[in-house]
Amino acid sequence: MLGVNMSIVKSILKTAWALDYDALIQKYIQTTGLKGHNDIRVLVVGGKVIAAIRRYAKGSEFRSNIHCGAKAENVNLPRSYTPVILKAVKVTGLDIAGVDIIETDNGPVILEVNASPGFEGLEKVTRLNIARTIINFTAHC
C-alpha cells in the first residue's frame, strides 16, 4: 500500500480489537472518466435489470448514497455489464438486489450487492414505479 504507514495501521487495528471492535479494511479503487466520486446503482428484480442511475457524491464525501446528499442521473448501462451484474445477483441467491458498480481503468468493478436496496432515488430519477414492480414480482412468486 503506497503512502500508508503499515505500522500505524497495525497499531490502530490492535487497539480496535483490544476494545472488541470490528474493523473492515478494503482497497481504495480509483474511479475514472467522470469528475468526483461516483458509482452506478443497478436494481435487479427477478433476474432482470429494472433501472440504473449514476450517483455523484456530495462535495468531499466519498460515498455516493442518495441519503448522504448524492445527486443522480439516468445512465445507459453498457450491455457488457448486464451478464456480470446478473451473475453477481444470482450468486447471492437474491431475487431483489441493488448492485453498486464503479468504473475503473481496468473496467467495471462491482462494489457490493445489496439485499435491501433503497430505491427512492431510482424512482425519482427514472420516474419508474419501482415499488409496483417489486410488488408485482413478489405477487407472482
**Does the pTM exceed 0.85?**
no
In a domain, 73, yes or no: yes
**How many folded domains does the chain comprise?**
1
> Which residues are within 8 A (CB) of 49 and not within 5 positions of it... i.e. 6 or more apart?
42, 43, 77, 82, 85, 86
**Domain coverage including residue 63:** 31-139
The DSSP H or E segment spanning 87 is helix 81-92
**DSSP assignment of 46-73, as one string?**
TTEEEEEEEEE--TT-----GGGT-EEE
Q: What is the chain's pLDDT, residue by residue, as a tens digit (141 residues)?
A: 456 788 888 899 999 999 999 887 777 777 665 566 788 999 999 999 999 999 887 776 666 767 667 688 999 999 999 999 999 999 999 999 999 998 888 888 999 999 999 888 899 999 999 999 999 999 987
pLDDT for the residue 62: 65
User: What CATH number did the domain enclosing 69 receive?
Assistant: 3.30.470.20
Q: Which of 87, 65, 74 is nearest to 127 (CA)?
A: 74
In a domain, 11, yes or no: no
In a domain, 90, yes or no: yes
